[in-house]
Amino acid sequence: MLRKRSYALADQLQEALGEQGYRTTSPRRAVLQAVAGQERHFTAEQLREQLPKVGRATVYRSLRLLVDSGALCRVLLEDGTLHYQLSHHGHHHHLLCVECGSSQDLLGCDIEEQLHEVSAAHSFQLSGHWLEVYGLCQDCQPQ
Amino acid sequence: MLRKRSYALADQLQEALGEQGYRTTSPRRAVLQAVAGQERHFTAEQLREQLPKVGRATVYRSLRLLVDSGALCRVLLEDGTLHYQLSHHGHHHHLLCVECGSSQDLLGCDIEEQLHEVSAAHSFQLSGHWLEVYGLCQDCQPQ
DNA sequence: GTTTATGCAAAACATTTGCATAGTC
DNA sequence: GACTATGCAAATGTTTTGCATAAAC
């Protein structure tokens, strides 16, 4: 079931890249399938370990493609390591559990609006931002 | 005048480290003076270039000391590079100009409060966050 | 057939570490 | 004199790049 979902997602990603003029190759498909099958955020090297037959450069190049196309987002962990994560909902933020590594999307949040207000108050023309939120998810909280 | 301020600040940093049991050495003083004289955020390597006589490891070790003691904060630029910046006001955020590289402190902002509310709504126990805001400062905005 | 993608190995960074030496307290 | 800090060079970890080969369109 999860498998099925992963394959469907991989095909979807493939199609999106195709529309942007990128070719369908088997290494690329392998990367997409691996990405689609990730249950949580992952590093480039973790992905690479799962794809021993794909060259390192291809993994990195594919990741960049996916980030640029909006399919993946970069996530900065508290220890400074860069992870990647499927991005289903356009721009949004994550609640990252520092214990188990899970990640919840932060929904119904008007941080953007507040940032716009505060920026305006500082005569600053906002163009982007990066927000990561760290803490404990429900399952990892003491009792 | 700026010079004078830098020296005073360097001494202040030195003193703070002294209180924590760290020794006063001339390489360390050189790093502190260079840090105190920075007009904007800087990378470890930029600092190192300004201190050709100080070993690379010492520069990095000193930076870590200063971050841990709260005198410096890390700043993540939009291109993913890590910079450092003097931190006068405890925990706060920055409005980073992507054009000239200047940085304004974000004051009078209750992002924290909002994050607490949203986290609670997701049953998430907030412990920290990282926020960077990118855009154009007043001087770099068209006309 | 033209263009794009791959794989490899090497280069490029950025940061950390081991260890002998030197300096502080 | 005991302990801490330094400097160097080497190791580490991560990401990028050049280039010849191979595959896609």
A117 neighbors A99 (Cβ within 8 angstroms): no
- Which nucleotide is closest to A60, CA to C1'? D15
Banded pLDDT at A7 (limits 50, 70, 90): low
What Å distances lie between residue A138 and A75, A92, A96, A109, CA to CA? 20, 20, 11, 19
Domains along the sequence of chain A with CATH: 1-90 (1.10.10.10), 91-143 (3.30.1490.190)
User: In Å, what is the separation between the CA of A53 and the C1' of C1?
Assistant: 29
* The pLDDT value given to residue B2: 52
Residue A137: list chain B partners with CB under 8 A. 123-124
* The pLDDT value given to residue B37: 93
The percent of residues in chain A predicted with pLDDT above 90, rounded, is 52
Task: Give the single-character DSSP code of A46.
Answer: H
Which residues in 62-91 of chain B line strand D, with CB less than 7 A from it? 62
Residue A118: list chain B partners with CB under 8 A. 106, 108-109
Which tens digits make up the pLDDT trace of B102-134? 888 887 667 888 888 889 999 999 988 888 899
- Given CB atoms, is A123 within the 8 Å cutoff of chain B? yes
pTM: 0.83
For B116, which residue in chain A has the nearest alpha carbon?
Answer: A133
For A137, which residue in chain B has the nearest alpha carbon?
Answer: B124
